[in-house]
Amino acid sequence: MSTQKVLIIAEAGVNHNGDLEKAVELIKVASAAGADFVKFQTFKAENIVSRKAKKAAYQIQNMHDNESLQFNMLKNLELDDDAHHFLIEECKKHDIAFLSTAFDVEGIDYLETLGLSIFKSPSGEITNRPYLERIASLGKPIILSTGMASFVEVEAAIQVLNENGVKKDDITVLHCNTEYPTPMKDVNLHAMNWMSEKLGVSIGYSDHTLGIEVPIAATALGAKVIEKHFTLDRTLPGPDHKASLEPDELKSMVLGIRNIELAISGDGIKKPTESEKKNIEIARKSIHAKRDLIIGQIISENDLIPLRPGSGISPMEWNKVIGKRVTKSCNAFELITWDMFE
C-alpha cells in the first residue's frame, strides 16, 4: 500500500466500553481531529480466548474489577452485527472512514462482507498462520502490526502474506511495542526504517506511548501510517483508556503530523524559498563606508564596514573592494557601489 499523505488511524478499539453512544462520540472526536480512519475491534470472545486466559497486568490494573480472566472483559466489549452497521453509517455521517481489526478467521470473513478496503492485522496475530493466510486471500492492502515480534517473525509473516496473494507493495508494516503505556526507552523507533530497508515494504508506526511526540517523530522519519489509541476520558475504566489520547490531544497529534508532513515535503535542494526571499535584503549586509571617503583615496580594510541592508555589494566581495581607488566621494555609513571606483 502506498500513499503520499500519512494515513492516520484513530484507534477507538474497545474504548467505547460496550456503549454505542460512547462509540458514536469517539467517531465524532476522530472526525473533528482530522483522522483518516476511526478503528474499532471485531471479535467474539469465545473465538479468541479460552475461559482460563489471564488478563495482562495493565488490563487488571485498568479495569478495577478484581477479575483476572480475559473472557468476561472481552465479552462485555463485543460489537454485534447491528452495531457494526450502525457505526459504519455514523462514520459516513461524520465524513471519516470506518475500519476494524478482526482477531480470528471468522472475524476477517465478517469484515469482508462489510466491504472494507483495507485490512489491519493486530500484533497478537503475527504468528497465526491461518489468520494470515485468510487475510491475504482477500487481495486487499494489509497493515501489519509487529508488537512483541522479532524480525524473523515479521519476515515469516510477510512471507505467508506473499505466498497467499499479497504483493509487498500492498503491505505496510507498523513498528509497534505492545506495552500499555510503552516506556520511551523501549520505543526503538529506528527499527521502523530498519525493517523497511530489510523487507522492502512501506512502514508506519502504531503507538502506545503517553503523549504525541513519538508519532510525530515517526512521521518525520518517514512513517506512511500512524495509529494511535484515543478515548473520551482517560479516567474511564477499561483496558486501554490510560494509554490513550484524550480528544484535544488527538487533535494536536493530527495537526503535528500534518505540519511535519508539510515540512518534509520539499525537494531536498537547499535554496531560498519564496516566503523568505523578501527578507534577504533586510537581513543580510552589504559593504558600507566606515568613514568619509575622498576622491583619489585607496580603500583599506579600515575604510569599510558590513551593514544592513543587503542591497549593495556583498561582503563576500570584501577583498575585491580593498585596494580600489575612489573616484566619487562618499560620506561615512553610506552604501558602497562599484561606480565609486576606477
Q: Which residues pair with 172 in a beta bridge?
A: 143, 202
333: left (phi over 0), alpha (psi -120 to 50) or beta: left
Q: Are 296 and 326 in contact (CB under 8 A)?
A: yes
* Other CB atoms within 10 Å distance of the CB of residue 320: 13
Go through the domains of the chain in sequence order and give each one's CATH number. Answer: 7-263 (3.20.20.70), 274-340 (3.90.1210.10)
pLDDT band at 73, cuts 50/70/90? confident
The 10s digit of each residue's pLDDT in 93-137 is 999 999 999 999 999 999 999 999 999 999 999 999 999 999 999
- Where helices occur in the chain by DSSP H, the ranges are 20-33, 45-48, 57-63, 70-75, 81-93, 105-113, 129-137, 151-163, 190-199, 213-220, 247-263, 274-277, 280-283, 318-321
DSSP character at residue 241: G
CB atoms within 10 A of CB 58: 17
Q: Which three cell numbers stand for residue 5?
A: 499523505
What pTM did the predictor assign? 0.89
**H/E stretch holding 142:** strand 142-145
258-291 pLDDT, tens digit each = 999 999 998 999 999 999 999 999 999 999 999 9
Spatial CA neighbour of 341 closest among 283, 281, 302, 287? 287
DSSP secondary structure string, 307-330? ES--SSS-GGGHHHHTTPBBSS-B
